[in-house]
Amino acid sequence: MRNVAQGPIAWRSELWGSPLRALATVLLLGLLAWAGFHAFEWGVVHAVFRPDADACRAVQHGACWGVVAEKWRPMLFGRFPYEEQWRPAIAVVVLSAVTVLSAWPRSWHWWLAPLWGVALLLFVGLMRGGVAGLSVVPTSRWGGLPLTIGLAVVGLALAFPLALLLAMGRRSEWPVVRTLSASYIELVRGVPLISVLFMASFLLPLLWPAGWQPDVLVRVLMGLTLFVAAYLAEIIRGGLQAVPRGQTEVAMALGFGRWPVQRDIVLPQALRLVVPALTNSVVGTLKDTSLVTVVGLFELTGALGLALGGDPVWRPFYLEGYLFVAAVYWLLCFGLSRYSVWLERRLGTSSA
């Protein structure tokens, strides 16, 4: 309560505590007001909201949100067949619903794993088709928001168990396991994601038997999973090191085995301690999915290029399109950050 009471006083002291601070505050507020006024004037007052390209070109100092009204479907769903775009819409809802349910601590039970299996089958079935009378849509035509969320969610779900094994392996008492885990983590962290995607797309097929090549989406997902796992492993290892060693020694002295100690005592505490760092990695992974455009998969930002690049009527309004895509990314990332704060408070690990 004392910190809460002192909050407004501290803010007043920081902003108005001296003539120099007061001057800086006035200048900053004036700059924000000037920028906000011009942004409001450009984005609202003089903006065109209807899908009328002629009206947009006639406006000299206003935004053309009509490009969003005209192109929102190819922006969100890429090259997926227009008349079948209800399928990726439902697929995104299903995958997002299971993800949100999984974020609720009360749902952390055994039935969550089979539920994820069902959700992934529905997602793939709706996107690819070939079942229940749905036409087949190759992965080369998947794109937009479903591809972004699918790569991020599935990649993280596959990377997390591998990251746990790598983190525990790097702290293992067996030199071979420790060396192999450390070598993998340092090797993967030493190269950029874009090079991993290139290798997964163009070099990995050379290692497969002739006549059988995995789909490019599967190869990209494998590369993303292996890359993210290395970063998550270091985050989890930091949490494991923060758990006092005395707790492990006491538990083993009481008769607990090595694995029950790790599963029931060490890992729950370690994961609670690294919730902010894990959230940061999740947000980074979500945004890094935009790099798959370089290997021919058109996620949210790539779908924007497809929607506007081949249309000379709406091509001049890329800025508004990018702002729309940025707003979608911001909503997703902001939601993740707020969930992180809520989870910290629920688990009792927040320092606020």
Please give the average per-residue pLDDT across 266-295, as a whole number.
90
Contacts for 72 with CB less than 8 Å, ≥ 6 apart = 324
Distance CA 187, CA 200 (A): 15
pLDDT tens digit string along 33-76?
A: 999 999 999 999 999 999 988 898 888 888 999 999 999 999 99
Contact between residue 155 and residue 224 where contact means Cβ atoms under 8 Å apart: yes
Q: Could you tell me the two tokens for 44?
A: 């609202």
pLDDT tens digit string along 156-177?
A: 999 999 999 999 999 888 899 9
Binned at pLDDT 50, 70 and 90, residue 350 comes out as low
Binned at pLDDT 50, 70 and 90, residue 94 comes out as very high
Please give the average per-residue pLDDT across 206-216, as a whole number.
76
Check pLDDT > 90 for residue 85.
yes
Check pLDDT > 90 for residue 325.
yes
Q: Please tell me the predicted confidence (pLDDT) of residue 2.
A: 45
Average pLDDT, whole number, for the chain?
Answer: 88
Binned at pLDDT 50, 70 and 90, residue 133 comes out as confident
Binned at pLDDT 50, 70 and 90, residue 267 comes out as confident
Q: Could you tell me the two tokens for 80?
A: 């997926």
Q: Please tell me the predicted confidence (pLDDT) of residue 283.
A: 94
Q: What are the backbone dihedrals phi and psi of residue 65, each rounded to the nearest 5 degrees, phi first? A: -75, -5
Contact between residue 159 and residue 228 where contact means Cβ atoms under 8 Å apart: yes
Q: Please tell me the predicted confidence (pLDDT) of residue 250.
A: 77
Contacts for 188 with CB less than 8 Å, ≥ 6 apart = 196, 226, 227, 229, 230
| HSE-CB of 219 using CA atoms within 13 angstroms | 23
Q: CA 33, 34, 35, 41: dihedral to nearest 10 degrees?
A: 100
Strand, helix or coil for residue 64: strand
Please give the average per-residue pLDDT across 317-325, as a whole number.
92
DSSP string of 249-304? HHHHHTT--HHHHIIIIIHHHHHHHTHHHHHHHHHHHHHHGGGGGGGT-EEHHHHH
CA nearest to 169, candidates 179, 154, 157? 179
Q: Which of 109 and 247 is assigned the larger pLDDT?
A: 109
Q: Please tell me the predicted confidence (pLDDT) of residue 263.
A: 76
Check pLDDT > 60 for residue 352.
no
Check pLDDT > 70 for residue 3.
no
